Chain A
Amino acid sequence: MPTTFRIWRGDATKGEFKDYTAEAGEGMVVLDAVHQIQATQAPDLACRWNCKAGKCGSCSAEINGMPKLMCMTRLDDLPPGETVIVEPMQAFPLVKDLVTDVSWNYEVKKRIKPFRPRKPDNADGTWKMAQEDADRVQEFRKCIECFLCQDVCHVLRDHHKHPEFIGPRFLVHVAQLEMNPLDTEDRIPELKEKQGIGYCNITKCCTKVCPEHITITDNAIIPLKERVVDQYYDPVMKLIQLVFKPRKKDELAETKPS
């Protein structure tokens, strides 16, 4: 079935939507259509991809206004017969067509204190860890760094707080480090003072777009906010604690040896 794709073409200086027609075959995803258009009509159409199976997080874009992986968006899940609109992520500077400059994210990662394990438990340099403890951290470590959550978060997308707020992706990263039972580092002061966790007002948009189904807000951000509240005052968190029954006082902190 011939389908129309309205794709953003252009660079940082100028650009416009252009319409292309691609043949939509069974099981096809948006990335297939983009490749078809590249091979037959627009060889210089820029997009990123690697795995074509939702594992690398390269092919992030906005499809009909929703932040998505192009390789995991099937055409038969989109409204039949309608034009498919494909545009680059909005929260980052445009390089060209569907490619954006995501280098800011790599800079943010460098600023977060790295993993610092306690002394090994065993003589051969290994540790003991229960699967339940691993589970909690593994949820966050599923992150494929597609940056779709960064793209959708209004603090970055609309308010451009990039210098002050690390965004949901890196709150997940901090959570994974903080909740690793072997880790001994304290990242809470920076979280409040330099990484802007207070900007997050728990809209949960990030959780909704995460292709790895990481429960970013409930499992990562709220527990981190709770830890911050222990040390500082956070108005949003205060409200949440008043409205909802407070969670059992950080059960996670207990797994961490002092």
Chain B
Amino acid sequence: MPVEYQTHEHDVIVIGAGGAGLRAAIEASASGASVGLVCKSLLGKAHTVMAEGGIAAALANVDNRDNWKVHFADTMRGGQYVNNWRMAELHAREAPDRVRELEKWGAVFDRTPDGKILQRNFGGHKYPRLAHVGDRTGLELIRTLQDHGVHQGINVYMERTVIRLLKDGDRIAGALAYDRERGRWTVFRAKAIVLATGGIGKAYKITSNSWEYTGDGHTLAYDAGAELIDMEFVQFHPTGMVWPPSVRGILVTEGVRGEGGVLRNSKGDRFMFGDIPENYKPQTAKDQEEGFRYVLGDKEANRPPELLTRDHVARCIVREVREGRGSPHGGVFLELQTFAEWFGKKNPKFNAAEHWKKKLPSMYHQFKELGGLDITKEAMEVGPTTHYMMGGVRVDSDSQMSRIPGLFACGECAAGINGANRLGGNSLSDLLVLGKRAGEFAAEYAKKQNASGAIHADQVDGAAKTALEPFDRATSESPFKVQEDLQEMMQDLVGIVRKEDEMVRALAGLKELRARAAKIQVTGNREYNPGWHTAMDLHNLLTVSEAVALAAIQRKESRGAQFRDDYPKKDNAKFGKVNSIIAKGANGEMQIKLEQLAPMPQELKDAIMAEGGGVLPDELK
């Protein structure tokens, strides 16, 4: 008997209601398309809500030397030049308008003394560039978009999880979802679909990411025939909480370092001063004094080494811990007291406790309530946590369309803009800039279609029946246990420091886990059943994990977020101009190939040279 399902039809269906999905939906709807917005959680609860530090945009409100070219050059340097340069260019050019637009829609950013949007320092950004609201910028962004969007007539379908994209021949035709509440099926029929499902952090044990980050969009696109790109580049944020165990991995915003926070090992050494990469030396402070002057906005000063890129800081922390100089619970110390003392000497009226509570309210709250620690007085313990996925669906730089006609992707589940490492703050701006573009082009694409593609009953039936199988099994594998074993394995074997033999073992391990996943049994009924939901997510986690391992093996060098113990150096000759591309082969096996990057136009090379002391990096020669 065929499964029963409801149908909702719209010109454009957006899957995912974080910053990217909301921005896409707003744009598509503003251009006259009927839009359906589908998400796994309640509206306003997507990952975007957790973003803390800020949105990167060269508004030049705090330092008037900033402009899109500097932002572009910073983004490319951070990504070690394997970024899609066109996306990085569009992003840097359009981010300021996207931020201003938020103000028009009701966002209330922190202000400069002359009443403009305030901007703060962040790792890898040459000038103070992050528009922010204390350390709850993501909340401001998502709430602003959400409130604007619902008044624009977007149809929101909450707590519906898409498990399969439906095609009519080559083109996209719809998506199959179940609703979490009742476990019933819905087909969303559309002329164009935008994926905006976020990342894959739940493939790892220690992560700042929520249950939602199971690589759904990556897998939906891959299964439908799209390509994935840059999957080896998983960002480990240097500072997650490490203690108590139940909060391990929860993010400690880079804003702490941006406001003067200092990293120390158990010997009290400020170890970041001891390891500054060559290409960042000219931009890094020589001593504590200079670093702190930078924090205060002194234009002559360079940034403190704590604000080097995330990949580098994370590795330095791992090294300190491995070599026995870690904190009691396996991290290092991050403290605000050195800055407070230094500043207090210059400024006797300085009230450190008030200052930090105002600048970092949610960090204060988070440590106070979850860690029982007052950050204005005591040092935090921090260590790396899986944070962000640079890799994702390969899309056209201008329109965000994948190689499947009518299938678009934006936000964290799409890839290209960040290359080998994302700079902090560049995600929120990416969501806005490329999210808007995805919405715009999806609506335009939809307008050109006479009708939606046909929905083929066999696709719906096949996917729904597979999803229901675990209820009928007499086996006893637990979905939670399989997920946990996968997370541990990825953490150990395909984590921050990688080796060929370990990753080959991981690939074999993934095969075993897939076999176990096929034996999962689910108890209870279909109504709001987390065991069943977790079972369905496993296919996605297994798929993206395999893609990460495969791509990481292929790239036999260290670059950005990928650090190979067996190839600790960059190899520009072999890997400086290539991306790894993953797609499903004819036999259903995952296949990988390397592809040359498109040559960069001279204008953009000039921008990079201007910021690099007149020299062009090897990758671009």
- Which residues of A are at the interface with B, using a C-beta cutoff of 8 A? 11, 25-29, 32, 38-39, 43-58, 72, 74, 95-97, 99, 102-103, 106, 109-110, 114-115, 117, 120, 124-131, 134, 137-138, 141-142, 144-145, 177, 180
Contacts and interface: CB of A to CB of B under 8 A. Distances in A.
Nearest to B107: A141
10 contacts: A25-B246, A26-B244, A46-B527, A49-B211, A55-B138, A56-B50, A72-B370, A74-B369, A106-B158, A120-B104
A44 B531 CA distance: 6
A39 B535 CA distance: 12
Summarize A's interface: helix, strand, loop or mixed.
Answer: loop
Of the candidates A28, A39, A117, A130, the one having the most CB atoms from chain B within 10 angstroms of its own CB is A39
A175 to B, nearest CB: 13
B7 interface: no
Contacts of A142: 136, 139
A53 B370 contact: yes
B111 A44 contact: no
A138 B42 contact: no
Given A115-B106, A134-B108, A109 B49 contact: no
A137 B110 CA distance: 11
Contacts of A127: 103, 115
A44 B525 contact: yes
A52 B210 contact: yes
B480 A39 contact: yes
A29 B370 contact: yes
B243 A27 contact: yes
Of the candidates B115, B148, B246, B531, the one having the most CB atoms from chain A within 10 angstroms of its own CB is B246
Contact of A125 (B45, B100, B211): B100
A38 B530 contact: yes
Given A52-B250, A55-B49, A27 B41 contact: no
Interface in B160-209: 181
B524 A44 contact: yes
A56 B250 contact: no
Interface in B238-277: 243-247, 250-251
B133 interface: yes
A233 to B, nearest CB: 31
Interface of B: 41-47, 49-50, 100, 103-106, 108-111, 113-117, 133-134, 136, 138-140, 143, 147-148, 150-151, 156, 158, 181, 210-212, 243-247, 250-251, 362, 365-366, 369-372, 478-481, 484, 522-525, 527-532
Given A27-B247, A27-B371, A142-B136, A95 B478 contact: no
Nearest to B534: A43
Contact of B366 (A44, A53, A114): A53
Nearest to B46: A50
Instruction: In the A-B complex, list the 6 residue pairs whose CB atoms are closest, starting with the nearest.
Output: A27-B244, A43-B531, A44-B524, A115-B106, A128-B115, A46-B528
B143 A46 contact: no
Given A43-B524, A125-B104, 12 more contacts: A26-B244, A43-B479, A44-B524, A49-B210, A49-B211, A50-B45, A52-B247, A53-B250, A54-B369, A56-B44, A114-B148, A127-B103
A131 B136 contact: no
Given A27-B370, A129-B115, A43 B210 contact: no
A44 to B, nearest CB: 3
Contacts of A129: 108, 111, 115
Contacts of B528: 44, 46, 95-97, 99
Contacts, number: 173
A247 to B, nearest CB: 23
A126 B116 contact: yes
B102 to A, nearest CB: 11
A27 B245 CA distance: 7
Of the candidates A44, A45, A47, the one having the most CB atoms from chain B within 10 angstroms of its own CB is A44
B106 A177 contact: yes
A106 B115 contact: no
A56 B50 CA distance: 7
A114 B529 contact: no
A50 B139 contact: no
Nearest to A45: B530
Contacts of A28: 244, 246
Nearest to A144: B139
A30 to B, nearest CB: 10
B140 A141 contact: yes
Contact of B372 (A25, A27, A47): A27
Contacts of A25: 244-246
B100 A55 contact: no
Nearest to B481: A39
A50 B210 contact: yes
Contacts of B148: 114-115
A96 B527 contact: yes
A126 B104 CA distance: 8
Of the candidates A25, A48, A52, A53, the one having the most CB atoms from chain B within 10 angstroms of its own CB is A53
Given A27-B370, A50-B211, A96-B528, A134 B41 contact: no
Nearest to B365: A54
A103 B181 CA distance: 12
Contacts of B134: 138
Of the candidates B156, B366, B527, the one having the most CB atoms from chain A within 10 angstroms of its own CB is B527
Contact of B143 (A106, A141, A180): A141
A85 B242 CA distance: 29
B45 A131 contact: no
Nearest to B152: A114
Contact of A124 (B47, B100, B156, B529): B100
B115 A130 contact: yes
Nearest to B118: A131
Of the candidates A50, A57, A99, A128, the one having the most CB atoms from chain B within 10 angstroms of its own CB is A50
Contacts of A43: 478-480, 522-524, 529-531
A72 B362 CA distance: 13
Given A29-B370, A57-B45, A44 B212 contact: no
A253 B181 CA distance: 44
Nearest to A57: B45
Contact of A102 (B42, B111, B532): B42
Contacts of B115: 127-130
Nearest to A109: B150
A134 B106 CA distance: 11
Nearest to A113: B151
A145 B46 CA distance: 13
A49 B65 CA distance: 43
A129 B158 CA distance: 35
Contacts of B150: 106, 109-110
Contacts of B44: 56-57, 145
Contacts of B245: 25-27
Contact of A54 (B45, B47, B143, B366): B366
A44 B523 contact: yes
Contacts of B147: 109, 114-115
A36 to B, nearest CB: 10
A243 B47 CA distance: 46
A53 B116 CA distance: 30
A32 B370 CA distance: 12
